[in-house]
Structure 1
Amino acid sequence: MISYWEKAHFLKYDLIVIGAGIVGMSTAIQYKLKFPQSRIAILERGVFPSGASTKNAGFACFGSLTEILDDLNMMSEEEVLALVEKRYQGLHAIRKVFGDETLGYQDKGGFELITSQEVSALDQMNRINKLLMPLFGEDVFSVEKDIYRYGFGKEVLQVVKNKFEGELDTGKYILALWDKCQQLGIRLHSGAEVLIIDDNQIHVKEPVTYDVIRFESAKIAICTNAFAKRFFPELDIFPGRGLVMVSKPLQSKIAWKGAFHYDKGYVYFREVEGNRLLIGGGRNLDFEGERTETFEVNSLLRSYLEKLTRSVVFPDQKVEFEMEWTGIMAFGETKKPIIQKVSANTVVGVRLGGMGVAIGWQAGTELVDLL
């Protein structure tokens, strides 16, 4: 049941973006800047973005040493270099557009904990630095001289630093995108679950009356990451759930600063405001169980992260956790994002491989070019 006013003003647009996460808002903003007279709306089924945009750990990263080595097992050097370049340029772009203060960006570096399982990677460090030299003009990775100052558990044999990585406040980043959308007059409809995309019509379930509302748009951008599989089953996408936990304020001040990776990047941790530990990941313990679109917490992963905190991160300190949540990322047989046309007037920007912070804005740029 649509009113006269709703039909007259709220249903027809030049561009409709499905998904109000980082990629969706980045696409809408850049399209509006390129075509100032265009009418744009974003449809989001949740109160907040439904995937991982407001649920990530706030890492401004492009790949640890072992992650890049792992990528080289599946991709050529040229492909890996292009992927790192896309991620790094994406991070540089959002810092330039929004500013470090607005993003809560902290340039403290990225670090990777090396155990006996990864120690052979140190022999490959010079090779990776040489590979990345054309992008950065200097060595990216270096070995820390004094690892004992970190206070990590005895299984940590070495710490590798990446001087070009940092961290940001995920909430501040989303607020910056929201504010920019509002300034530009981009409409955001939350609680708008898309049921069907039919040419230039988008059928949405109204959450109060349960009526089906039909929006019309000359162009459509689908930015729902793992959930895009609902509209395009043929896409090489599968969901990957990620667990994040935050501790109560710690009794002793955290001795280290920066964004830390462990176990080839499958585990990550950092300090957040209030002398608290944020730690997440571990989905490699149960790949099949975490290949889901539901947001429950996997008790196996929770126990693993708690144990890791006690044995590796803070072996001499009692840590209690007070918050936990999950987000849904998207992966595929390759780490290359899917950014393509699926019809004359419809594009998709999905499968960001857990790197939405780094490549979300850049994905928006590429989608606008396709549109």
Structure 2
Amino acid sequence: MNLSYWERTSWFSNIDFTIVGSGIVGLNCALELRLKHPKARILILEKGKLPQGASTKNAGFACFGSISEILSDLKIHSEQEVLQLVQDRFDGIQSLRTLLGDDAIGYQNNGGHELFLNQDVALYESCLKELTRVNELLQPVFKNDAFKVTPNSFNFNGIRSNYISQVFEGQINTGKMMSALVQLAQQKGITIVNSTQVHSFEDVGAKVIVRTNDLEFTTKKLLIATNGFAAQLLSEKVKPARAQVLITKPIKDLHIKGTFHLEEGYYYFRNIDNRILLGGGRNLDFKTEETTEFGTTRLVENKLQGLLKSVILPKTVFEIDYSWSGIMGVGKQKKPILKQLSGNVACGVRLGGMGIAIGSTIGKKLANTLD
């Protein structure tokens, strides 16, 4: 880029902190840095026109994990690790609500519900069997029973007669939340430059050289918050995971309210503006969905539409309005990667599909890694 004197001195000179990624983690990192360093020059670089990845493309679930997900996690994590995972998710949601306010993020506590298809007898019975154990494990977080059995009040088809509900889960308006975060960051004097992709960086001791698609500059500290795209910049073990989503046109007198999970969380849906938003299906073809390419596939779209017709809205006429996808960052472990990479570089990535729940706390922790 052929920068003018004004552009160079106003946007890319004397930078104290540069953050790569303007999603939930990056913005919260910047806001925490502003609290710690009121006079610092803080720059956020975003490769998309909007916060690209998952932060503006998710389903808007303020969730802590369905009971089948908790039980699955207990197979590969200790009870203390699972408890900490849920605690981090709970703390993250509360932090986000405190920072922006419930109205600004469209927060509603309508509960979360796990549905079990009629053929999933073994999974349903194992979750019922472990209900008391899981509630006791999570008592330190919720101070009460988190899970309970509730009837199929929304008349979904082809499922067991009861849900297993998470009474503390809620939903947010993702667009309102991200817009509020961006506005707050700008009010705090944080500079956000969009359509700028970082290709490489080099920590040379007193500073970090940052190379983008069309310019090079230096910064004192570099913090990487690119989550699903982390492998493009780092050697950390983060796999991209595309999540496909579709939404119906408004449905008259839609009575469904809350967040819902099916098939161990591989499918999820909710109400929003008298519509049903439904996502998931990467379990149909894990290899294809392990990509950083946005887009949708006929395989997944057909499955999602089939679930709408057969399970979610079996007696309701509906039309699909449009579809999209987001890119998550996942790995064998649910614990995010939060670490210092060199003297002046750190990262906060691999949020495992829980960006809304833990993004704010990971962002704050990332801001404190280079002290």
* TM-score, with structure 1 as normaliser: 0.95
SS at match of 1:244: strand
Distance (Å, rounded) in 2 between the aligned partners of 1:268 and 1:205: 36
Q: After superposition, what is the alpha-carbon deviation per residue over 1:321-343, rounded to whole angstroms, capped at 9, x for unaligned?
A: 01100000010111110011101
Which residue is equivalent to 2:101? Answer: 99
Residue in 2 aligned with 1:131?
137
Q: Which whole-Å CA distance do the structure 1 matches of 2:212 and 2:229 have between them?
A: 15
Corresponding residue for 1:280?
A: 279
| Structure 1 residue 350: Cα displacement | 0.4
> Aligned with 1:327: secondary structure?
strand
Question: Within 5 Å, which residues of 2 pair with 1:229-248?
Answer: 229-232=231-234, 234-248=235-249
| Greater alpha carbon shift after TM alignment, 178-187 vs 152-161 | 152-161
Give 1:119 shift: 1.2
Name 1:260's counterpart in structure 2: 260
Q: What residue identity is the alignment partner of 1:282?
A: G
Amino acid at match of 1:158: N
Per-residue CA distance 1:191-214 (angstroms, 9 max, x = gap): 1111211210111123xxxxxx11
Identity %: 42
Q: Which amino acid aligns with 2:144?
A: E
SS in 1 for 2:168: coil
Cα distance in 2, alignment partners of residues 343 and 215 from structure 1: 18
Opposite residue 283 of structure 1, the aligned amino acid is: R
| Residue 122 (str. 1) matches residue 121 (str. 2) | no
1:54 counterpart letter in structure 2: T
Structure 1: state its 5+ residue gaps. 207-212
Q: Does 1:361 find its partner at 2:360?
A: yes
Partner in structure 1 of residue 12 of structure 2: 11
Question: Following the alignment from structure 1 to structure 2, what is the Cα–Cα distance between the partners of residues 256 and 8?
Answer: 53
- Tell me which residue corresponds to 2:54: 52
Aligned equivalent of 1:295: 294
Instruction: After TM superposition, give the deviation of residue 73 of structure 1 in Å.
Output: 1.1
Q: Report SS of the residue matched to 1:278.
A: strand
State the shift of 1:247 in Å: 0.3
* Structure 1 residue 178: Cα displacement: 0.7
Query: Contact (CA 8 Å) 1:60, 1:168: kept in 2 or not?
Result: yes
**Out of 181, 185, 207, which is 1:181 matched to?**
185
- 2:271 maps to 271
TM-score, normalised on structure 2? 0.95
Deviations 1:177-201 (A, max 9, x none): 1111111110011011112112101
Cα shift readout 1:55-110 (whole Å, capped 9, x = no counterpart): 00000001000010111111111111100000010001111111101110001111
Is the CA contact 2:115–2:159 (under 8 Å) kept in the aligned structure 1?
Answer: no
**Would the aligned equivalents of 2:249 and 2:319 in 1 still touch at CA under 8 Å?**
yes
Equivalent position amino acid for 1:170 in 2: T
Question: Following the alignment from structure 1 to structure 2, what is the Cα–Cα distance between the partners of residues 269 and 52?
Answer: 16
Provide the rounded CA distance (Å) in 2 between the counterparts of 1:271 and 1:140: 22
What SS is found at the alignment partner of 1:150?
A: coil
| CA distance in 2: counterparts of 1:65 and 1:204, whole angstroms | 43
The count of residues paired between Structure 1 and Structure 2 equals 360
Question: Counterpart of 1:71?
Answer: 73
Residue 160 of structure 1, CA deviation: 1.2
* CA-CA distance at 1:369 after TM superposition: 1.5
Equivalent runs, 1:200-219 vs 2, <5 Å: 200-206=208-214, 213-219=215-221
Structure 2 residue ranges without an equivalent (≥5): none
